[in-house]
Amino acid sequence: MLDIEFALVLTLHQPPGNLEQLLDTQEPEAKEILWAIDRIPRSLWQHEDLGRVHLSLSGTLLETLADPDFQHRVSGIVDCEALLWYLQNTRIIELLGTGHYHPVLPLIRPVDREEQLDRWQTIASHLVARDPVPGFWPPELGFSMDLIPTLRRHGYRYVIIDSEHVSPLTPMRWDELRYRPHLAQFGGEQIVVAVRDRELSNAQASGIDTEWFITEVRARTQYCDFPPLVTTATAGENGEWFRQTTPSRNFWGTFHTELMEKVRAGSAGGIRPTFISDYLERYGPHGWVTVGPGAWNTDWHHGTGFLQWRGSPAQQTALTRVAELSEAVDAARRNAIAIGAPNPDLYRELEDALALVLRAETSCNFFWGDAWVQRCHDDLDQATNHLQRAETLFR
């Protein structure tokens, strides 16, 4: 019986200022989120020889956890300094790169994609030093093939992609397509694609029984004549299953603990936790694929075409305005550099404008509809003010 390599992926994101606002208005929810994040390394310690998890933390969440004022405010809830230290444990955690403000990357301009990735790498290098970070989590699993050169320039070896959007170029069976990493190419650059199993991930998000998981994984991989890599990926701090504080009723206290005990006892049907990078070192990628533009599934949509973030007139208007202001800020920055403008205030205004445009691109601003899209416009209004002040300094 072949071993089944199991890659567990959890993504963690909080929009700028969200945890602070929740502490003011819905403190119990803020506590549940913080405890859910803090629970991850603590739950893995007891299985340090076996437990493996891939974590993606948005740059805005890292900024919040590292902020001294926030750390002081929540000191009676979670020790954020200790939590950031626990994330250094490379034996149990493989960190994934992502976009700083958690944008749906295919929906923003290429120059902003570069900035989003640069800014995440900058803060991650200070807080959770990993060199290099091997894998990339596209926010909302939003991917298009033209992202590949950008990811490669930033040093990423593999990217996680939802199974719904992966199509074979090399002839392969269904189980080969889903349970092997592959290569994808665009613009002369190649990257490894690790395929997220959508159905198993749906189960992981909503509450999963250990025996069912073992039986289902065995059935899905029964015809594999290669060591399969089964990848599940969900949010790690959203939903009752991950936020529940009673161990016997949450992901870690039930499913994960039971699975680790069965792995240790040799009764997990050959399933063994792994890091994707370790699998690649042992077995490498297999075959070529192409990836259609899309994201992961949400409650009401399958993710193809990014409809959840650009389907309404309000979303489309906001995205158009983001692109227009991004282009204006980029042109002003390039112009200032080209003429050798000496005024430091000019560059500060342009930097502030750029940061606000990038923050406006946060995926939550679009996903939550009219309730949040105004946040995008508010940031763009402020960015416009900074850009206008910068324009007066050119004179």
Asked if the structure places residue 64 within a domain, the reply is yes
Q: Kindly report the average pLDDT of the chain as a whole number.
A: 95
Q: Give pTM, 2 decimals.
A: 0.96
Q: Indicate whether 395 pLDDT > 80.
A: no
Q: Indicate whether 350 pLDDT > 70.
A: yes
Closest C-alpha to 12, from 63, 81, 82, 78: 63
CATH of residue 230: 3.20.110.20
Same domain, 286 and 365: no
Same domain, 256 and 190: yes
Same domain, 36 and 109: yes
DSSP 247: G
Asked if the structure places residue 302 within a domain, the reply is no
Same domain, 223 and 335: no
Mark which of 237, 262, 291 sits at the end of a domain: 291
Mark which of 258, 291, 324 sits at the end of a domain: 291
Asked if the structure places residue 48 within a domain, the reply is yes
Same domain, 232 and 370: no
Return the percentage of the chain with pLDDT > 90, whole number.
89
Residue labelled with tokens 């493996």: 52
Give the domain extent around 344: 311-393
Same domain, 110 and 71: yes
Q: What mean pLDDT is predicted for residues 13-25?
A: 96
Asked if the structure places residue 45 within a domain, the reply is yes
Residue partners of 269: CB distance under 8 A and separation at least 6: 4, 214, 215, 217, 218
Helix 344-360 / helix 110-127 crossing angle, nearest 10 deg: 100
pLDDT tens per residue across span 121-157: 999 998 886 778 999 999 999 999 999 999 999 999 9
Residue labelled with tokens 């445009």: 357
Same domain, 166 and 120: yes
Same domain, 222 and 251: yes
Same domain, 366 and 223: no
Same domain, 87 and 151: yes
Q: Please give the tally of structural domains in the chain.
A: 2
Same domain, 135 and 170: yes
Mark which of 235, 262, 291 sits at the end of a domain: 291
pLDDT tens per residue across span 297-310: 887 678 898 989 99
Q: What mean pLDDT is predicted for residues 240-246?
A: 93
Query: 98 — phi, psi (to 5°)?
Result: -160, -170
Q: How far is CA 340 from CA 111, 334, 335, 343, in A?
A: 21, 10, 8, 9
Q: How far is CA 241 from CA 11, 44, 209, in A?
A: 15, 17, 12
- pLDDT at residue 255, as a whole number: 96
pLDDT tens per residue across span 48-63: 999 999 999 999 999 9
Asked if the structure places residue 304 within a domain, the reply is no
Same domain, 287 and 329: no
